[in-house]
A and B are shown apart, each in its own frame.
Chain A
Amino acid sequence: MTILPDKDAGDLRAAARREVQRGRDFVDEADPEALVTVTVASVALLAAFVGFLAVSSLTAIPFVVFLIASGYGWFRHQELTARVLTLTTTVSTILILGLILVFIFVEAWPTVEYATVTVFGLPIPGLRLFIDTRWSPVSPPIRYSLVPMIHGTVLVTIIATAVAAPLGVAAALFLSEIAPRAVREVVKPGVEILAGIPSIVYGFIGFTILSPWASDQFSIVGQGTYLFVGVVVGLMALPTVVSVAEDALNSVPESMKSGSLALGTTDWQTMTSITLPAAFSGVSAAVLLGVGRAIGETMAATVMLRGSPGLTKPLYNVFYGNDTLTSLIAANYGDADGLQLSALFVAGVILFITVLFLSIGSQYIEARMRKKLGGAE
């Protein structure tokens, strides 16, 4: 609390007091029997959750108690039970995100600890994962460097973004501003279906058609290139960019566009000087989300890459493909245990954190844009 400015702290305290007061009112008003029922249900559910976490075989008992209590509450005190149950579901949604965070961090810790490097007498856990470049989980010295995979992920993501961002924004512009109604009715479901094709099918086509073709065309030894994985992943990220960017473009108030058109501009002039600048932050949020999709794409990379961790030579050689963070996990989870499995979780943590930040960043940008456009109306 002390780090907060006084005013904020005061606000928070006041808010907390209000909440407590509201809670007290609520307890006073509610039917005591209903209150007992939902309390029993809540405690039972909590116990079941704890039991599940502790891998107890008795988990089922509190869960059955929860079912009975909430069933009883549903018939006798539906109003309150419904409210408590929906609150429970909401909390569980947040809980799942928290559980993911905790569990993959806990599993990742052994390798992070193993890769501790002492710099000036100060042990920094996990540093060797990023300064070494060797991934050798079997032959000593055993090293789990994630640098090659990060390099692969970065290359694939750059190429995918170069494909998805310009094409996606142009397609969004087409759908929201240019296309006649009949054309839009065809193209929009088409883009959605593109999003629906399973990634393994993309990977399969890439593996059987694109990779051999690329090896042949560019005289590459073996199969698997970051370039074409990037192209395929870009195609997969495209629908995300299109739909989010289209929403952003649609949220530009019609009056702004009409005002510009009334000045005698062409449609294209209105788009470049009014619609796109106004929706710029929303469009960049779309691109960020597309980047997130590209980073997390797994199956196409797993199937199309070579699966032998290492840096390409030279570093910008996109005609060769070793491994990305995602494909490392998917290809190695089977025969990994101990520290190696934990290293895979480190890769998962990096993916999760990066994509979470991208998601939060794009939400922030979108919220700001909505505020700005709302104020401009």
Chain B
Amino acid sequence: MAGAVESELVSEDTSETEAVAAAAVGVAAILFALSLAALFELVTITDTVAGIPMVALLGALLILLGLGVVGFGVGSRLGYVATNPRPSAGLVAAVAFSGIWFVVGGLVASQTLGLGTIGWGGVAFVTGGLAFAVTALPREDIGSTLPAGLLAVFAGAVFVTGLIGPGWVWDLGWEQSASFNAEFTIPVITAFCSLLVSWGAAKSYGGFGARGRHVGAYLLVYLNALSIIAVLFLLVAFTVFKGLPGLFNSISFGLGVGPETTLFGFTFAWPLSWPFVMNGVALLNDVNGVLPAIAGTIWLVIGAVLFAVPLGVGAAVFITEYAEHGRFTQVVEIATNGLWSTPSIVFGLFGLAFLVPRLGNGKSLLAGMLTLGFMLLPLVVITSREAMLAVPDEYRDASAALGVTKWQTIRSIVLPAALPGIVTGIILGVGRIAGETAPILLTMAGSVAPPGSQTVDVIGGFRFISSPPFVENPELLQATSALPYQLYSLITAGVGQSSSIANIEQFRWATALILLVVVLGFYAVGIATRYYFRRKLQHE
């Protein structure tokens, strides 16, 4: 960070104590992984490992870990381990630990000892206060290890003695019943304690003090980043895994196996048959598909882009190039940011109240397009504006010095220079609106499982009429489906309404996957474009 170059001025050998602390972090990591596995039911807590019950094993490991960290802290305090701790572990740690111990004390007093409100309140205050004192008053090496280590030892003891065993249940006793059982509680407590202890151990590894805090904090921050990426990976991988069988159901290649298409009077058959993408839903289909929804999504995106991009880029040109910076640009900025954060369902309501009565008085593709266009507009304005502001003023000055008018400067200098940024913004915005469900739910949603014959054909739908507005397109004014809406209706429809779909579960997952592929496809293209242009700029 900050362009600083790290260099080891003093290099110390890895001492045995550091190795012990590192080992403690390692054991904590194993415990953490184990508890996650138990939470996701990959391991059951009633299992035995080498003859020892799983719960007892977890408890024993926690006790070992807790004792190790406490021992490290005490050893450091007594001078057996060379560290450079501060006088106190600090207020943040003290508040955190007192909160944790407050909860522990309160729960034990009220649930195990059965004390009343005053009783458990008193006990909780005593334990919380003690934890605060133990953390804040002694030197840092005691303050940051003792409360964490003791908590792990306590939890471990509870597990080992069987106070919380595999059959443990805590009924909350609420009218709408809910209860904690062992399968959830034990892994969560274990994970929490191991996190806490590994933080303490990481601090010890750094020898407390500024460096110890640095190591402890980095451990947590890295873990956080790692878990975000892990969640993302899990979500995507899970959807892909569940969706693939349905998506590629009876796909076949070869000359003339696919459906026939007529383009410019020339009929040909696709060399690929992909039923899920090329069929609608019908009773006689071997494999049902989502072609109408795909076509609907494509037309939605096209319509929204045609509406929002000229408006958005125009507005961005005006406020960056023409308008003087003042009240008016401020209002525009607030309005676009306000539009950007407006909830999607509100856009849906607006479309329902404003567009639907004016466009054929029924849900229609056109209303959906415009509603999504309204949503896309602020994104286009914001990103185009940023891209244009990033164009150096020297370009404009140089152009103006040639005696060129302002609009010519904009057209031939500013817009081309800002184009990569604008395009990237549009692509990312399109990715966002392509996955939106709420607005189209209220403005264009059609039948739950449309047959292939209901695929919209906007180009073929235009015809001229004799009365105003002289051009009409019934396809645009018809309710239709789109991928996100199709997924929503498949979830809520239940079995009865979509009985013509044989394997509804597979069909749903495949729909989710294809939606994910379409949306993330836009994102991937957008991110890659940005990456490409940034590299190009850097190389110039």
Binding site for B on A (CB under 8 A): 52, 55, 57-61, 78-79, 82-83, 85-90, 92-94, 96-97, 99-100, 103-104, 106-107, 167, 170-171, 173-175, 177-179, 183, 186-187, 189-205, 207-209, 217-221, 235, 238, 254, 257-258, 261, 265-270, 289, 292-293, 295-299, 302-303, 312-314, 317, 319-320, 326, 329-330, 333, 344-345, 348, 351-352, 355-356, 358-360, 363
Does B282 count as interface, using CB distance less than 8 angstroms?
Answer: no
Question: From DSSP, what is the main secondary structure of chain A's interface residues?
Answer: helix
Shortest Cβ distance from residue A309 to the other chain B in the assembled complex, whole angstroms: 14
Kindly identify which residue among B229, B346, B516 contacts A352, using a CB–CB cutoff of 8 Å.
Answer: B346
Q: Are A92 and B311 closer than 8 Å at their CB atoms?
A: yes
Within 8 A of A (CB), among B65-101: none
The distance from the CB of A88 to the nearest CB of chain B, in whole angstroms, is 7
Q: How far, in whole Å, are A312 and B322 apart by their CA atoms in the complex? A: 55
Which residue from A90, A194, A201 sits with its C-beta under 8 Å from B314? A90
Residues on A with C-beta less than 8 A from B339 are 93, 96-97
6 A-B residue contacts at CB 8 Å? A187-B225, A190-B228, A217-B181, A261-B2, A333-B442, A360-B334
For A173, list chain B residues within 8 Å (CB): 221
Q: Are B221 and A193 in contact, with the CB atoms below 8 A? A: no
CB-defined contacts of B338 to chain A, threshold 8 Å = 97, 356, 359-360
CB distance B441 to A333 under 8 Å? Answer: yes
B residues within 8 A CB of A170?
220-221, 224-225
Q: Mark B287-327, 1 if CB is under 8 A from A, else 0.
A: 00000000000000000000000111111011101110000
Give the contact-size bracket for chain B: 35 or more
Which of these binds chain A: B128-136, B211-219, B266-274? B211-219
Determine how close the nearest CB of chain B comes to the CB of A367; give it in whole angstroms: 9
B523 touches A217 (CB 8 A): no
Task: Contacts A93-B336, A219-B181, A268-B213 given; indicate if A86 touches B470 (C-beta within 8 A).
Answer: no
Main secondary structure of the interface of B (DSSP, over half): helix
**What is the chain B residue whose CB lies nearest that of A351?**
B343
In the complex, residue of chain A having the shortest beta-carbon distance to the beta carbon of B231? A235
Contacts of B527 in A (CB 8 A): 189, 192-193
**B1: which A residues are within 8 A, CB to CB?**
177-178, 257, 261, 267, 270
Known: A79-B406, A201-B516, A360-B338. A270 touches B2 (CB 8 A): yes
Contact A204 B357 (CB under 8 A): no
Kindly state the separation between the CA atoms of A254 and B332 in the bound complex, as whole angstroms. 31
B225 close to A89 (CB less than 8 A): no
Give me 4 other A-B pairs in contact (C-beta within 8 A), A103-B350, A175-B225, A298-B344 excluded: A97-B335, A266-B211, A266-B213, A299-B488
Chain A residues with CB under 8 A of B172: 319
Q: Bound state CA distance, A106 and B239, in angstroms?
A: 42
Given A298-B437, A351-B345, A89-B318 contact (CB < 8 Å): yes
Nearest chain B residue, comparing its CB with the CB of A60: B469
Q: State which of A59, A104, A320 has its C-beta within 8 Å of the C-beta of B350.
A: A104
Per-residue interface assignment for chain B, residues 1 to 27, with 1 indicating a CB less than 8 Å from any chain A CB and 0 otherwise: 111100000000000000000000000
CB distance from A44 to the nearest CB of B (A): 14
Whether the Cβ atoms of B374 and A96 lie closer than 8 Å is yes
The residue that A79 contacts in the complex, of B171, B341, B407, with Cβ under 8 A, is: B407
Nearest chain-B residue to A322 (Cβ)? Answer: B176
Q: B344 near A204 (CB under 8 angstroms)?
A: no
